[in-house]
Chain A
Amino acid sequence: SQQGEEDPQALSIQEGENATMNCSYKTSINNLQWYRQNSGRGLVHLILIRSNEREKHSGRLRVTLDTSKKSSSLLITASRAADTASYFCATDLAGNQFYFGTGTSLTVIP
């Protein structure tokens, strides 16, 4: 099935360190998006990267996309305790149905 799968499943780092999460998917996509979800809350859109883009930045976020490897990474630099959340990648095919991965649970220790 067309699903993003993130790894690691859980990541615990010290405040100030960088956090890297990876997402792999199975078939060709139009774009890939990263979302954040705080426990029991809604999904917050972080960044969208299109299939013809290789890297994108937004503040402390850096996303890469390697379509040959069908993978993407999300880097959060200089992490803060407030970055503690679950992070999901979502991929789409030809339509507008998004497939979400299982997520990476990030804990940033103050």
Chain B
Amino acid sequence: EPEVTQTPSHQVTQMGQEVILRCVPISNHLYFYWYRQILGQKVEFLVSFYNNEISEKSEIFDDQFSVERPDGSNFTLKIRSTKLEDSAMYFCASSEALMGETQYFGPGTRLLVL
């Protein structure tokens, strides 16, 4: 069964460093998402992406975040200058269609900012 994959599974970085989290969505899906989950808290929406542009973003997704689909398969989340509070599990998801279709989640990347 097709699945969303994410790399790396774990990333440790120093505050102020840039990190890039990578995702390979399911191949025939057109919509891509990033969510984050701070330890012990809710899963929070960050951004959705369609047709090579951001379609929605939350207030969390400020100027230090960016997303890109650099090729036909990868979808990346870049955090330009990491802060301690960026430590969280980051989930990528994808869906076939837009309006309320099932989003399939990857296993997540656990980011720790020191």
Contacts and interface: CB of A to CB of B under 8 A. Distances in A.
A54 interface: no
B80 to A, nearest CB: 23
B45 interface: yes
> From DSSP, what is the main secondary structure of chain B's interface residues?
strand
Nearest to B46: A97
Where chain A touches its partner, the secondary structure class is: strand
B33 A45 contact: no
A6 B37 CA distance: 17
Contact of B56 (A41, A44, A97, A102): A97
Interface of B: 31, 33, 35, 42-45, 48, 55-56, 58, 89, 91, 93, 95, 98-108, 110
Interface of A: 3, 30-31, 33, 35, 40-45, 48, 50, 88, 90, 92, 95-103
